[in-house]
A and B are shown apart, each in its own frame.
Chain A
Amino acid sequence: MSINESLAQGSNILIYGAMTAYTFAMGSFAISLAKGRRIESLEDSATRVSSASVQVRKGATLTLNNPAVSTSLSSTERLGEGRRSGNIGMSLTWLATILLAGGLIFRGISANRLPWGNMYEFSIATAFSVSLAFCLMSLNRDLRWLGLFIVMPILLDLGLAITVLYTESAQLVPALDSYLLAIHVTAAIICMGAFTVGAALSALYLVAARVEERIADGQKPGRSGGLARRLPPSDRLDLMAYRIHAFMFPLWTFAVIAGAIWAEAAWGRYWGWDPKETWAFITWVIYAAYLHARATAGWRGRKAALVCLLGFATIMFNYFVVNIYVNGLHSYSGVN
């Protein structure tokens, strides 16, 4: 089976188109963020959240949800200003997502296989997954304040993909030629997309929580005050991050197990501590620790968010460092 070059060309054009749309989306989201304001004032959030955390610290293990923490996220997080440019940003992000999907489909048809067989394709697919996760989540809540922090990493990822990781469309080496590729890698891509959104939320949580804490202590909001004023209250950010991880952790577990099933068929052992496997395991353990941390007094909040960011860092390490620099059976990056 040969490669259809004009389709591969078309794929590249679509991806450049998506990057253009993301660039404009980034500008729109930046304007929208600058104009927006949260509904609940920083001071009110500070009082509410700090009184909740005092109650939480009394018990050893959390059992019941704290009444002070708002349980419904569907309400509007911010006042209306900046809505217009936020809407433009959202529309452009949808457009870019569709262009990326087109790029992936063309690439897949050009080689007549799933378009995630080397690091270039995997990066494009991950950008698509981040973008789609964000778009889908924005369907039933207002996420315009988050747009900037999603589109920036996407652009970074796509930029790396087309400059450093670019590989011409080609067929697969035999070890990758398996239906388990579809299952294992697809699950991993979905998780990476959602974990990226989760990490962005956790990072923003740290900013908002820090500012609220300073205010509760009677200090000035500090340099991040301006950003915190434009974000939802910290407990909501924390809750949103948690929900993404709680939803995705079983899928990550599944991705690892599907990888083990594939390894069993391809290499003769289901688990061999290959560097890639080892780091997938480390990521899994760290996210398990995150879920535990959120249920452990004294770890909830900032420490848990840091654990979650650590988990994301292990994914990045596995992706950029292990794939390219550490030799193992998984050396399919296609990068020379």
Chain B
Amino acid sequence: MAWLRWIWRQLTSMRIALILLFLLALASVPGSLFPQRGTSPFKVSQYLRDHPFAGPILDRLSLFDVFASPWFAAIYLLLFISLAGCVLPRTLEHAKEVFRKPPAAPRNLSRLPAHVQWFSNVSAEQVVQETAREWKKSRWRVRSEGEWVAAEKGYSRETGNLFFHLSLLVVLVAVGFGGAVGFKGTVIVREGSGFANNVTQYDTFSPGRMFNLENLAPFSFKLKDFVAKYQIGGTQNGAARAFRADVSVRDVPTSTPRPVQVKVNEPLRISGTTVYLVGHGYAPTFTLRDSKGNLIWKDSAIFLPQDGNFTSTGVVKAPDTVPQIGLQGFFVPTVTSDFSGGPLSIFPDANNPQVFMSAWAGDLGLDNGIAQSVYKLETAKMTRIGIEELKPGESWKLPKGHGTLEFSGFKEWASFSITQDPGKGWALGASILAIIGLSLSLLIPRRRMWLRATPQDDGSTLFEVAGLSKTEAPGLLDQVSKFAEQIKQHAPEVVDVD
């Protein structure tokens, strides 16, 4: 039992709190230096490929998941246990103190950091009573007995400090709760297509541990138009200047659609879910016909941007012909005549679009049960039948009677990140409380003030005013002098003539 008490005392001491704070800071550092799975999973796999020896060791130490690692959790949980163990008793203590009277005047006021004294011929009692009344009127907590007055001010400093620490606990709980109950998902939507808030429609979906499917709000939206604007000319030529997705939204399947603009800093907030515009790109439209002119495939294929000027790559898979046809290639929104470095775009906007496609025939490998990326062509069992570049409206007669490919134009697509985090309002509220508490805690001075009137043998009275500051806020001496001046109006100073 004794050692349990000892551990608890250590854990709730300032010194350990301080060490835990340092550990928390230190533990965060690798999270910024190594790629993290939570934010950049591709970089993590890349790192593991590049460092076959060190990578797995670092992974075992959770250095790619620092903020979800057991050791990071251990530090902040210990810190918050320490915090609770430190703050709860202080809260009780403070609650009692608020109802207690300020402590009696110390014996020797002249040893306090601010002290003023003078002699007067006025008797003590009346001045003491008058002073007690005045201090009370200027909102000090006052206690007065016989020949002295004690006053204290600034309890909200400690109140603020406790609020601050308790709010930190609430923030931690809110973050944990929101992460457990909410979800994160992403989806790419082409112009003219729609999305319904349903797990099957997401490209990626990561629910929290306590997520409940019934919490998915039944909204849906359609992407009518995507608009991007870019800087033209100057050193920042091509830098993005504005993005906007014009969508029409239905709150529930039966409601009439309403138009909404989703922008980078202006998400769509709907039924506790938030829809963010996070990316965009091009989806060239192809029509594939067989040699007899029958339609085999017609759609806009999502191509993924590879650089800042939106040189994009993608594929088309047509599994319903014999042999199966696959197309892969580049979409280049603004092409130049010079492409010594390959087909590269020189501007992100589609000023002079062109596709560079290679056509393959054979077995797409879709039937062997292994999931395939929709952005990649498995060419192991295929042979290339030709390559061609096309401008919008142009057609390509595929070699060896495989039919024709028409590039009729393009659509744009927008990618959305969709999240639900029921803890975030709580986290925000607690953060605001924390700032208010912190400001009170650091800016409100906590002071004690005393007046003592001591009758002297010669019939005069010694008046002493003294102050003590619990904080390092300036102005204690000024305050003491001001009070002394006020008291001198009732008890004028006498100057010894001899």
Question: Are B474's CB and A74's CB within 8 A?
Answer: yes
Which residues of A from 243 to 258 have beta carbons under 8 Å from B? 243, 246-247, 249-250, 253-254, 257
Residues of A within 8 A of B175 (CB): 271
Minimum Cβ distance to chain B for residue A77 (Å): 14
Residues of A within 8 A of B14 (CB): 60-61, 292, 295-296
Question: Are A71's CB and B18's CB within 8 A?
Answer: no
A144-186: contact bitstring with B at CB < 8 Å (1 yes, 0 no)? 0000000000000000000000011011111101101000000
Minimum Cβ distance to chain B for residue A51 (Å): 13
Question: Are A265's CB and B267's CB within 8 A?
Answer: yes
Residues of B within 8 A of A243 (CB): 472, 474
Which residues of B from 1 to 53 have beta carbons under 8 Å from A? 13-15, 17-18, 21-22, 24-25, 28-29, 31-33, 36, 38-39
| Interface flag for B211 (CB, 8 Å) | no
| Interface flag for B123 (CB, 8 Å) | no
Complex CA gap A60/B424 in Å reads 38
Given contacts A65-B468, A266-B264, A296-B15, contact A72 B435 (CB under 8 A): no
Question: Are A254's CB and B419's CB within 8 A?
Answer: no
One of B144-152, B230-238, B359-367 at the interface: B230-238
**12 more CB-based (< 8 A) A-B contacts, given A69-B113, A250-B443:** A71-B469, A72-B475, A170-B236, A171-B236, A175-B265, A247-B442, A253-B438, A257-B428, A257-B435, A262-B265, A265-B267, A273-B31
> Pick the contact of B18 from A270, A282, A299 — CB < 8 Å?
A299
Given contacts A249-B438, A271-B175, contact A278 B32 (CB under 8 A): yes
Complex CA gap A94/B439 in Å reads 30
Minimum Cβ distance to chain A for residue B429 (Å): 11
| Interface flag for A293 (CB, 8 Å) | yes
| Interface flag for A268 (CB, 8 Å) | yes
B217-258: contact bitstring with A at CB < 8 Å (1 yes, 0 no)? 000000000000001001110011111000000000000000
> Pick the contact of B278 from A257, A268, A299 — CB < 8 Å?
A268
Nearest residue (CB) in B for A181 is: B265
Given contacts A170-B235, A257-B435, contact A67 B111 (CB under 8 A): yes
| Interface flag for B187 (CB, 8 Å) | no
Minimum Cβ distance to chain A for residue B17 (Å): 6
Question: Are B419's CB and A67's CB within 8 A?
Answer: no
Minimum Cβ distance to chain B for residue A175 (Å): 5
Complex CA gap A141/B432 in Å reads 33
Residues of A within 8 A of B240 (CB): 173-174
Question: Are B18's CB and A72's CB within 8 A?
Answer: no
Nearest residue (CB) in B for A265 is: B265
Given contacts A289-B18, A292-B18, contact A175 B264 (CB under 8 A): yes
Residues of A within 8 A of B111 (CB): 67
Question: Are A296's CB and B39's CB within 8 A?
Answer: no
Question: Are A273's CB and B234's CB within 8 A?
Answer: no
Residues of A within 8 A of B231 (CB): 170-171
- In this complex, which of A172, A282, A322 has the most chain B Cβ atoms within 10 angstroms of its Cβ? A282
Given contacts A174-B241, A273-B38, contact A289 B22 (CB under 8 A): yes
Minimum Cβ distance to chain B for residue A291 (Å): 8
| Interface flag for A73 (CB, 8 Å) | yes
| Interface flag for B124 (CB, 8 Å) | no
Which residues of A from 29 to 64 have beta carbons under 8 Å from B? 60-61, 63-64
Given contacts A265-B265, A278-B31, contact A67 B112 (CB under 8 A): yes
Question: Are B472's CB and A242's CB within 8 A?
Answer: yes
Question: Are B32's CB and A71's CB within 8 A?
Answer: no
Given contacts A177-B265, A270-B427, A293-B18, contact A65 B469 (CB under 8 A): yes
A282-293: contact bitstring with B at CB < 8 Å (1 yes, 0 no)? 100110110111
Which residues of B from 421 to 438 have beta carbons under 8 Å from A? 421, 424, 427-428, 431-432, 434-435, 438
Nearest residue (CB) in A for B186 is: A268
Complex CA gap A217/B39 in Å reads 54
Residues of B within 8 A of A250 (CB): 435, 438-439, 442-443
Question: Are B470's CB and A171's CB within 8 A?
Answer: no
Minimum Cβ distance to chain A for residue B428 (Å): 7
Residues of A within 8 A of B488 (CB): none
| Interface flag for A27 (CB, 8 Å) | no
Minimum Cβ distance to chain A for residue B341 (Å): 19
Residues of B within 8 A of A178 (CB): 265
Residues of A within 8 A of B66 (CB): 273
| Interface flag for A281 (CB, 8 Å) | yes
Complex CA gap A289/B431 in Å reads 19
B396-424: contact bitstring with A at CB < 8 Å (1 yes, 0 no)? 00000000000000000000011101001
Q: Can you list 23 A-B contacts (CB < 8 A)?
A: A65-B469, A65-B472, A72-B478, A73-B474, A168-B235, A168-B236, A174-B265, A177-B242, A180-B265, A243-B474, A249-B442, A265-B266, A268-B278, A269-B184, A270-B428, A273-B32, A273-B67, A275-B32, A281-B28, A291-B442, A296-B15, A326-B32, A328-B39
| Interface flag for A16 (CB, 8 Å) | no
Which residues of B from 264 to 280 have beta carbons under 8 Å from A? 264-267, 274, 276, 278
| Interface flag for A24 (CB, 8 Å) | no
Question: Are B113's CB and A67's CB within 8 A?
Answer: yes
Nearest residue (CB) in A for B30 is: A278
Residues of A within 8 A of B428 (CB): 257, 261, 270
| Interface flag for B114 (CB, 8 Å) | yes
Residues of B within 8 A of A268 (CB): 184, 267, 274, 276, 278, 417-419
| Interface flag for A298 (CB, 8 Å) | yes
Complex CA gap A48/B308 in Å reads 64
Complex CA gap A296/B113 in Å reads 21
Question: Are B476's CB and A177's CB within 8 A?
Answer: no
Question: Are B477's CB and A72's CB within 8 A?
Answer: yes
Minimum Cβ distance to chain A for residue B436 (Å): 9
| Interface flag for B117 (CB, 8 Å) | no
Question: Are A254's CB and B32's CB within 8 A?
Answer: no
Residues of B within 8 A of A249 (CB): 438, 442
| Interface flag for B289 (CB, 8 Å) | no
Complex CA gap A322/B424 in Å reads 27
Complex CA gap A289/B265 in Å reads 34
Minimum Cβ distance to chain A for residue B105 (Å): 15
| Interface flag for A114 (CB, 8 Å) | no
Question: Are B243's CB and A174's CB within 8 A?
Answer: yes
Question: Are B25's CB and A286's CB within 8 A?
Answer: yes
Given contacts A61-B14, A254-B435, A298-B15, contact A170 B234 (CB under 8 A): yes
Nearest residue (CB) in B for A288 is: B21
Complex CA gap A125/B483 in Å reads 43
Residues of A within 8 A of B32 (CB): 273, 275, 278-279, 322, 326
Complex CA gap A329/B358 in Å reads 35
Given contacts A71-B114, A249-B442, A253-B438, contact A64 B18 (CB under 8 A): no
Complex CA gap A61/B472 in Å reads 15
Question: Are A273's CB and B39's CB within 8 A?
Answer: yes
Question: Are B39's CB and A272's CB within 8 A?
Answer: yes
Nearest residue (CB) in B for A245 is: B442
| Interface flag for B143 (CB, 8 Å) | no
Minimum Cβ distance to chain B for residue A207 (Å): 21
- In this complex, which of B38, B113, B419 has the most chain A Cβ atoms within 10 angstroms of its Cβ? B113
Minimum Cβ distance to chain B for residue A231 (Å): 19
**Closest 3 pairs (CB-CB, A-B):** A268-B276, A275-B32, A178-B265
Complex CA gap A207/B476 in Å reads 28
Question: Are A282's CB and B28's CB within 8 A?
Answer: yes
Given contacts A73-B474, A273-B38, A296-B18, contact A170 B468 (CB under 8 A): no
